[in-house]
Amino acid sequence: MEPLTWTGSIAFLNPLLMISLAAMLISIVVWILGSIVLPEAPLSINVDGTLNANAGLRGLTQSALRYSFMASVAVTLAYLVLGILMGTSAGIIGAISRQFLPVWLSLIILFAMSIAFKRRLGLYGKLFDSPIGMIGFGLVMFWVFTGIFGAMDLIITHDPLSQLSGMKNKVPGTPVPSTDEGQYAWYLLGGDNLARDVFSRMVRGAWEVVKIAPFATIFAFMVGITLGLPAGYYGGRLDTFLSFLANLILAFPVILLFYLLVTPEIVATGVPNYMAAVLFVFPIIFLAVLLNSRFYTRPNFRTPLLIGVLGVALWFYLSMISTGGYIIETETYRIWGLPTYLDLFNIPGGILVVFVSVVFVNSPTVFRIVRGLALDIKTRDYVAAAQTRGEGPWYIMLWEILPNARGPLIVDFCLRIGYTTILLGTLGFFGLGLPPESPDWGSTINEGRKLLSIYLHPALPPALALLSLVLGLNLLADGLREESLKD
């Protein structure tokens, strides 16, 4: 097998890409300079009272930017489309874009559906009015789909954990020495220092993030909301106490906390299990109070609903915190949990401690945000109206204040998933928690950096992947903020 070059037979696109990128860069600079130097476009008033705005020189710089941007996008698309069609004959880029085919298809379907029905989709639909938001959403969904399909073994070319002899630190596009039947013939992004496929590890790393970050953020929000709403609404002693606790955790340097919490020794003492048992209760409390405060006037409906929802929630809770029949199992003592035949899933101790500490680090910030919003919103008229109607405090908090605080909370949710991704990367970078051969991005960057002065390819793909995912989440949050402010 021949080694692959980067672009293969579509190399004729390279000069085109160079030209369009250069044109875009130049036009950005001109655009910025123009916005400072050039006069604003003059308005002329017509006889019938309408206004005419001349495009002028400013308009010219703007359209130059637009066209050069479109040209760059078109060339990039050409790379991808030709790559999908030609596969490995279009070089590494072609091969990679063909491997990502399921992701492209899902993205196209998702965007087509969303844009077609955007007027009926509320805030989510409005996202597709803002180019920044769309770019962010596209980046995020790219990695989400990559994570999901990668976990289903669709995109990856080799097993991310297996080592092939002779592939140590090989450059991108190196053919695999002995091709067995059905094995992919190249290491698309090269091999790392243990002769594993960098491309497959990067793809599988997306799954590590996708499976932990959103859930950890949701749990942090549940904890923060359940504690922040009463702190802001009631104020007083409760507020002082909870704020003190939140500030206590916030005053702790995150990395020190991780170094203290996420170690095998701490896992052995069962501390993470206690923390999980406490932190995971909050979603149940949240659900119970949420439903009860709404439906307590209709006991016939409320009681079966609560029994059903809480039953399922408790079952999940117990399966989450108990492993192998025990909630806590140390050498000296153990606490009984859910029996094994009822246990839905087991979370390995390493993942659990990562999850718990990420939730623990994030929830005080969410608490502060929710508390601030509650303090602000509780002075509004509709809250006063609900109080006059005789609604209970929890109804007011959860059904009057919370829905009206959703805008900032959704924006912060996106930013916080990004921050959680960074935290997970930090954990991996210091080799904490996750197993050493785990393909998550932080660990891969850490392994790759040791040989960075000679081999770039093991460290750069996960670094760029993490960068683009977090950037996507930030842009998405920015787009959402802009659109929710337009209301």
Partner 1 sequence: MGLFILKRVGIMLLTALCLTFLVFFLTNLYPNLEKLAKTQGNFRMSDEQVASYLEKNGYLQPTPVKYGEWLGVLPSYRHTNEDGSVLGRCILPGTTAEESPNFCGILQGYWGYSSVFKEEVSTVVGTRLALTGRLMFWVMLLMVPSALILGILAGMREGSATDRTLSTIAITTTATPEYVSGVIFIAIFTSSAVGLKWFKGTATQAMENPTFENFFLPVLTIALYGMGYIARMTRASMTEVMTAQYIRTARLKGVAFPNIVMKHALRNALIAPFTVIMLQFPWLLNGVVIVETLFNYKGFGWALVQAAGNNDIQLLLAISVVSVFVVLVTQLISDIGYVYLNPRIRIS
Rule CB under 8 A: which residues touch partner 1?
28, 31-32, 34-36, 244, 247-248, 250-256, 259-261, 263-266, 268-269, 271, 418, 422, 425-426, 429-430, 442, 445-446, 448-449, 452-456, 459-460, 463-464, 466-467, 470-471, 473-475, 478
Nearest to partner 1 of 47, 251 (CB atom): 251
Nearest to partner 1 of 17, 245 (CB atom): 245
**Angle made by CA atoms 226, 228, 233, in degrees to the nearest 5:** 105
Q: Parallel, antiparallel, or unpaired for β 43-45 and 186-187? A: unpaired
| Residue 297 CB, nearest approach to partner 1 (Å) | 43
Number of CB atoms found within 10 A of residue 120's CB: 8
Nearest to partner 1 of 244, 341 (CB atom): 244
| Residue 133 CB, nearest approach to partner 1 (Å) | 12
The DSSP secondary-structure symbol of 341 reads G
Please report the sign of the dihedral spanned by the C-alpha atoms of residue 436, residue 442, residue 444, residue 447: negative
* Closest among 326, 227, 239 to 281, alpha carbons compared: 227
* Closest among 313, 243, 245, 319 to 276, alpha carbons compared: 319
| Residue 398 CB, nearest approach to partner 1 (Å) | 30
| Residue 431 CB, nearest approach to partner 1 (Å) | 9
Nearest to partner 1 of 208, 478 (CB atom): 478
Does residue 112 contact residue 104 with C-beta atoms inside 8 Å? no
The DSSP secondary-structure symbol of 197 reads B
| Residue 139 CB, nearest approach to partner 1 (Å) | 10
Nearest to partner 1 of 106, 426 (CB atom): 426
Nearest to partner 1 of 263, 484 (CB atom): 263
| Residue 202 CB, nearest approach to partner 1 (Å) | 13
Q: CA dist 466 to 151, 259, 363, 426, 443, Å?
A: 17, 22, 23, 11, 12
Please report the sign of the dihedral spanned by the C-alpha atoms of residue 320, residue 321, residue 325, residue 329: positive
Q: Per DSSP, what are the bridge partners of residue 334?
A: 329
- For tokens 């998405």, name the residue: 476
Q: Per DSSP, what are the bridge partners of residue 51?
A: 45
What does the alpha-carbon distance between residue 485 and residue 172 come to, in Å, rounded to a whole number?
46
| Residue 268 CB, nearest approach to partner 1 (Å) | 5
Nearest to partner 1 of 111, 274 (CB atom): 274
Does residue 445 contact residue 428 with C-beta atoms inside 8 Å? yes
- For tokens 């919003």, name the residue: 373
| Residue 374 CB, nearest approach to partner 1 (Å) | 22
* Closest among 97, 75, 76 to 86, alpha carbons compared: 97
| Residue 255 CB, nearest approach to partner 1 (Å) | 5
Nearest to partner 1 of 292, 323 (CB atom): 323
Give strand ranges (E) for 223-321: none
- For tokens 């013939």, name the residue: 185
Nearest to partner 1 of 58, 294 (CB atom): 58
Nearest to partner 1 of 102, 214 (CB atom): 214
Nearest to partner 1 of 13, 422 (CB atom): 422
Report residue 188 CA to chain centroid gap: 25
What does the alpha-carbon distance between residue 206 and residue 461 come to, in Å, rounded to a whole number?
12
| Residue 273 CB, nearest approach to partner 1 (Å) | 13
| Residue 134 CB, nearest approach to partner 1 (Å) | 14
3-state secondary structure of 222: helix
Does residue 174 contact residue 193 with C-beta atoms inside 8 Å? no
313 Cβ contact partners less than 8 Å away, ≥ 6 residues apart: 283, 284, 287
